[in-house]
Chain A
Amino acid sequence: MKTLEYIFQFLVFPGFLFSVIMGLATGWVDRKVTARLQWRAGPPWYQNFVDILKLLLYKETLIPQGVSRAVFLGMPIIAASAATLVSTMVLVINGAPQTGFIGDLIVIVYLMMIPAVAIMMGAFASANPLASLGASREMKLMLSYELPFILCLVVPIMKSGYAIRLGDIIASQSQGAWIIASPSGVISFCVMLMCVQAKLGFVPFDMPEAETEIMSGTCIEYSGKALAIFKISKAILLFIIPIFMITLYFGGIRLDFEGFVKNILQYVMILVLMIVIKDTNPRVRIDQAMRFFWGPVTVAAVFSAALAFLGR
């Protein structure tokens, strides 16, 4: 019975189906807010669903000559399943904080890296010079943002009494104050926002798939169903990463009415903040991004960790 429950949780709620629907709806919010910021009308609410259905149902899936089919077609599935696992774990632990295990935060951090690695492998497998250029940029970007990302995770861990269970972090915030209500929490949250921007491949850190420059780089050879599954995995990450940040800094999802309304407001705030950063910045070069992440951002992350160690 337990197995069936896990399979249901993974595939339907709160796993694959729910996350995909919410992720595509979030993607529409992204497109609509972008359009309004540029003084345009923007697409209707069902636009992302139509795009995905078109790719899944009606478009051909082309495979380039001389390509390993297993790697080329397997990588989208790995990316989507890792993203689904992240969303299932974060949402289930938010629903029932006792269900986690020791070190689930570390597992989630590793699982969040897998979509980027899968995109990289798929791009290298697709036998296209622009795709491998995009993949090499993705690799450099990953090396640069993972360091501050993991450093700024130290703050919630220290603040909740050295807990590496997500459930313990939620529990410590439900008794005391939110982690963002402290100087170290604010700095760590800002650092996390920058890293998440790069993790999601948003402008200013979208060099791996720079459309105007290397023709959507990592995804250039993907079409039809494989492209749809890559888009689905990105949509799931777009949906789950703000919730992950709410879990770490705002005390997690509350199931009572007042708490849930606050959660929605926090979610919209984080999402709109990311979209506004995306829309008001130009794309930077990969060396600028690397200098940015290893310079000021890492220094800020170390500073926030030191503040947290001192108990601020």
Chain B
Amino acid sequence: MGLKERILTKSIYAFHVSSGSCNNCDIEFLDCLTPRYDIERFGIVFAASIKHADVMICTGSTNRMCVPRIKMLYELMPKPGFVVAWGACGASRGIFKDSYNTGAPLDEVIPVDIYIPGCPPKPEAIIGGFVKLIQKINETGKKTK
């Protein structure tokens, strides 16, 4: 684990993209900022602009209207950047799998690094997901995306 991984894993700015989610996952992310879970103690902060972000958190079922916008946001994110598929819909389209409106799951649109399943995922599961992301950054090492 070099200096680069050490720094990248200690300071994670997360940007939140909602592509047709029911708002449940979004509220659960806000729960992580509350005193009980407080992910700021690990250096994880909400970024307001995609240009400040290291991690793009995608919630929702990736509907057709959102696909070009998700691609654009992925290209706007300064690299090295990572993508988290959040909740059942983000990971696999969930109950909207056969809907006319959802063409492809998120990982066929942009490369996804970590999946956090659940409908919605509990804050404990979210922190667990970030631990997996940190492990992945450490393992991939020098590989930048």
Contacts and interface: CB of A to CB of B under 8 A. Distances in A.
B29 to A, nearest CB: 14
B49 A50 contact: no
A288 B40 CA distance: 32
Nearest to A221: B51
A62 B7 contact: no
Interface string B53-97: 010000000000000000000001011100000000000000000
Interface in A36-53: 38-44, 46-47, 50-51, 53
Contact of A58 (B7, B43, B46, B49): B7
B78 A223 contact: yes
Contacts of A40: 34-35, 38, 40-41
Interface of B is mostly: loop
Contacts of A182: none
A211 interface: yes
Interface in A51-74: 51, 53-54, 57-62
A222 interface: yes
B51 A223 contact: yes
Interface residues of B, number: 22
B132 interface: no
Interface string A123-137: 000000000000000
B11 interface: yes
B11 to A, nearest CB: 4
B51 A62 contact: yes
Contacts of A62: 51, 76, 78
A175 interface: no
Interface stretch (A91-99, A159-167, A212-220, A241-249): A212-220
B43 A50 contact: yes
B10 interface: yes
Nearest to A231: B52
A227 interface: yes
Contacts of A47: 10-11, 43
Contacts of A44: 41, 43
B112 interface: no
B43 A43 contact: yes
A216 B52 contact: yes
A133 B10 CA distance: 33
Interface string A216-237: 1001111110010000000000
A297 to B, nearest CB: 29
B8 interface: yes
Contacts of B47: 216
Contact of B40 (A35, A211, A224): A35
15 contacts: A39-B35, A41-B41, A43-B41, A50-B7, A51-B43, A54-B10, A58-B7, A60-B78, A61-B78, A62-B51, A215-B48, A220-B49, A221-B49, A222-B51, A222-B52
